[in-house]
Amino acid sequence: MFKRLLDVNITESLLLLGPRGTGKSTYLRERLRTTPAFWINLLLPKTEDAYARDPERLIREVTALPDKMTHIVIDEIQKVTPLLDVVHELIETTHKTFVLTGSSARKLKAGSANLLAGRALVHHLYPLTSNELGSTFDLSTAMKFGTLPRIWNLKTDSARRKMLETYALTYLNEEIRAEQVVRNLDPFRKFLEVAAQMNGRVINFSAISDDVGVDEKTVQNYFQILEDTLVGFFIEPFHTSVRKKISKSPKFYFFDTGVKRALARQLTLDLVSSTYEFGDLFEHFVILEINRWVSYSGNQFSLNYLRTYEDAEIDLVVQRPGKSLLLVGIKSTDSVQRKHLKQLVALGQDFPGTPELLCLSNDPGSQVMENVLCLHWQQGLKRFFSGPDLKV
């Protein structure tokens, strides 16, 4: 059992979103272990069918519950979206607290407007962070196989690879085929591999459409499906008051390095330090860590990137309410030198005001060089990305 950074108020109705396998049900069972709760698991076919045929069954069941049964938990609410209207009514007319989980926001976007407009707080749960893993954390394992909780209960790399391959197939079968998100699964399967291989790079919709054999609009729709099913997120370019000619296309990051490598068919490849692949995967891992901390912390930071047409880049431009911009360079080296900071320093001069410059790396030491604060990535997380809702 891992102690999670997310801290929700279980006395209020809430919707907990997160990809499959991130531990939503486990988390809630721990939080509600002393609270009388009525559980509904819509992943069970008979249960899903019963509520799909008769959503108002929930009203009758809640009415029959004793007063001491204060909480109703519904796992994977997106499986039966008509239940959202019923839940909305019950939140308004009863004293029960509703705790919902979901692994896809696609149907919820259309079906839960009222619910998401204040009737239930929305939270996100992600794979484990390095902080949550504690003494069991190992950077190489996390980069190669990701941080889904089940991965860290397996003892061999072979078992981890098998689990991730199965996860990728489950995503295709249960989230895509079963939900009939796309009519033809073959090009989408090819798209997944290409998108995973292009993880963290500026998206070229035209090039991807050529590789996959579909038009650009379809590729854009495919990326939207990935975001809606919570397996990745966009980072948009920063272009406010910057004089350089810069890219205006977003980047896309898969939610877990292990799932990304499974989809890209890279699980059997060795991870060798000081290579391009190692640096690329390290950057992906650190950005995932930052994104999770920002979500859990409540500090309302927004993450962007900047890349010029000459391929100079700042990995993250962090907008912080009430503070200066934070420009972050991510380097996999264990010994930061001036050459690693050239682009960050040069591009930092084009930003408005006086931004803070930060380099996160594997270097265990701390130093200031060329007005850049250089920290080990774990120290940088605690110093810059903790917040009022994040206790570490």
Gap between the Cα atoms of 18 and 105, Å rounded? 9
Strands across the sheet containing 326-330? 251-254, 232-237, 302-307, 313-319, 326-330, 356-361, 372-376, 367-369
Question: For residue 200, with 0-12 CB atoms within 10 Å meaning exposed, 13-18 middle and 19 or more buried, which class applies?
Answer: middle
- Mean pLDDT of successive 10-residue stretches along the chain, which has 392 residues: 91 94 96 96 96 97 96 94 91 94 80 57 95 96 97 95 92 70 83 95 95 94 91 91 75 97 94 92 98 93 91 93 95 96 92 92 96 97 86 68
Gap between the Cα atoms of 222 and 218, Å rounded? 6
Query: Can you tell me which residue has the tokens 């890209």?
Result: 264
- Taking the whole predicted model, whether its pTM rises above 0.85 is answered as yes
Residues 6+ apart with CB under 8 A from 239: 246, 248, 306
Q: What are the residue ranges spanned by the domains of the chain?
A: 14-124, 127-392
The letter for the amino acid at 113 is A
CATH of 14-124, one of 3.40.50.2300, 2.170.16.10, 3.40.50.300, 3.40.50.2020: 3.40.50.300
* Tens-place pLDDT, residues 37-70: 999 999 999 999 999 999 999 999 999 999 999 9
Gap between the Cα atoms of 391 and 373, Å rounded? 24
Gap between the Cα atoms of 262 and 160, Å rounded? 10
Tokens, residue 328: 């972050």
* Tens-place pLDDT, residues 141-186: 999 999 999 999 999 999 999 999 999 888 877 777 766 677 788 8
The confidence score (pLDDT) of residue 180 equals 62
**How far does CA 219 lie from the centroid of its chain?**
21
Cα–Cα distances in Å, from 239 out to 248, 252, 254, 309, 327? 8, 17, 23, 13, 13
Gap between the Cα atoms of 186 and 154, Å rounded? 31
